[in-house]
A = this chain, B = another copy of it.
Amino acid sequence: MSESVTMDKIVSLCKRRGFIFQSSEIYGGLGSCWDYGPVGVELKRNVKNAWWRSMVESRGDSVGLDCSIMMHPTVWRASGHVEGFSDPLVECKVCHMRWRADQLDKPACPSCGGELTEPRNFNLMFKTFMGPVEEDAAVVYLRPETAQGIFVNFENVVTTTRKRLPLGIAQIGKSFRNEITPGNFTFRTREFEQMEMEFFVKPGTDEEWYRYWAGERFKWYLDLGIRAENLRMREHEKSELAHYAKACADVEYLFPIGWSELEGIANRADFDLTQHAKWSGKDLSYFDSQTNERFIPYVIEPSAGADRSVLAFLVDAYREEDVEGTTRVVLKLHPSLAPVKVAILPLSRNEKLTPLAKEIHERLSRNFVTEYDDTQSIGRRYRRQDEIGTPLCVTVDFESLEDNQVTIRDRDSLAQIRLPVARLEEALKAKLAGESFDAGSLWAGARA
């Protein structure tokens, strides 16, 4: 995290440029719910697609799944959520504010100093009523995690894919938790999106796979540009472990609120399949036809938050730079995450420039996610592209009409080079793949 970044600055940038808006803002907002705006939705899509590519598409040993948010209520009895998924709630007897007892330093109301009630368990699952008449309709819960959808489908997936262990089943989707104290922008919200994989392995190989996944997942953030000094792995103490976990490690990121969890990697052993076998009466064991063994698989779970990841990528990319005496705000997002890859900016809105600029835009938009912008001054448009993290801008000026050359401006170095329109695609592609402007032959002949 750079020293200058605060959560307020991130919230402000997100609102100003259309990354994230408060939900139902014109009605005063809805507590801890957020909407992704035009550039935010693209950033989030890029993050989720990067995860899917890494966890499903590029692997031979995993498949995807997309389960419904509403599940049979017994799922949450088997998983332990009905019984145990709760936080200790206390209320101030004076001002009636409510707090999580386990997050308080002192036994008095943080708001007014008043006396607090005894803690009582508050279940975090949202419930609703399915079916036409509320009184006798089924109570169903909104899933508090996507993981259980994977466990209850384990048998179906193995049967229909005929895959052998080790086998990963991955899912991206919304979950809901009625948090007592949500907050810190999109870090802790009541509605959020998860990216979870359950990786089923033979007992005995679980510790090795646990270490493998901790390493892989840590690397994923680094590969997408998170700075190493802002990322750390924190192994849980035995005393911290949930009752079902043999081991757990958190990938933590240095948010402006301090080191906080981005993703957990847990060795869940055979807890989940055993529980669902017991409650459903179904045999959820696995038969290994190569060794003629039957067993309940162990599970390694890398469980990441999509919203938290987006927030971490935003925070990590945020820079304030002094450029010729003024402050430039720039998001140095990894090119694969940037909502727009190439902006096409005619120097001004002008009937002579527009045809060439539009022609270039039309051509480039076949190969790149582009934006065409001809409003306001070129300086303000550069500032906008910097703030949404666009790696490259192509500027079309009056000289372009003469020499059929345009300028490429690099977001990070602010270097500009001029090159023939015919070589644009090749140059942009190389630059987005990480080549620097002075990397030899490609740029030979280009005029810096």
Residues of B near A417 (CB, < 8 A) are none
Binary interface encoding of chain A residues 377-418 relative to chain B, with 1 for a CB under 8 A from any of its CBs, else 0? 000000000000000000000000000000000000000000
In the complex, the chain B residue whose C-beta lies closest to that of A21 is B156
Most chain-B CB neighbours within 10 Å: which of A31, A52, A66, A122? Answer: A66
Q: Cβ of A5 < 8 Å from any Cβ of B?
A: no
CA distance A261 to B40 in the complex (A): 32
Residue of B nearest to A23 (CB): B68
Docked complex Cα distance between A38 and B57 (Å): 11
Cα of A90 to Cα of B25 in the assembled complex, Å: 38
Tell which of A16, A23, A40, A149 has the most Cβ of chain B within 10 Å. A23
Q: Which residues of B are found within 8 Å of A44, using beta-carbon distances?
A: 66
Q: How far is the CB of A128 from chain B (nearest CB, A)?
A: 5
A369 within 8 A of B: yes
Q: Is the CB of A280 within 8 A of B26?
A: yes
B160 and A98 contacting across the interface, CB-CB below 8 Å: no
Q: Is there a chain B Cβ closer than 8 Å to A422's Cβ? A: no
Greatest chain B CB density within 10 A among A26, A74, A361 is at: A26
Given contacts A98-B132, A161-B18, contact A68 B153 (CB under 8 A): no
Query: Which B residues are CB-close (under 8 A) to A33?
Result: 68, 70-71
- A residues 72-114 in Cβ contact with B at 8 Å: 72, 74-75, 89, 98
A35 to B68, CA, bound (A): 6
What number of A residues sit within 8 Å (CB to CB) of B?
82
Asked if A36 is at the interface (CB within 8 A of a chain B CB), the reply is: yes
In the bound assembly, the distance between CA atoms of A292 and B15 in angstroms comes to 27
Is the CB–CB distance between B156 and A70 below 8 Å?
no
Q: Does A224 contact B (CB under 8 A)?
A: no
CB of B38 within 8 A of CB of A160, answer: yes
Q: Report A261-294 CB contacts with B as 1/0, cut-off 8 Å.
A: 0000000000000001001101010000000000
Closest-by-CB residue of B relative to A282 is B26
Residues on B with C-beta less than 8 A from A35 are 65-68, 149, 153
* Residues A140 and B30 in contact, CB atoms below 8 Å apart: yes
Q: Is A64 an interface residue (CB 8 A)?
A: yes
A63: Cβ under 8 A from any B Cβ: yes
With contacts A17-B160, A41-B65 taken as known, whether A276 is within 8 angstroms of B26 at the C-beta atoms is yes
- Contacting pair B98 A133 (CB below 8 A): yes
Query: Does A69 belong to the interface (CB within 8 Å)?
Result: yes
Partner of A128, one of B16, B142, B155, B361: B142
CA distance A162 to B388 in the complex (A): 14
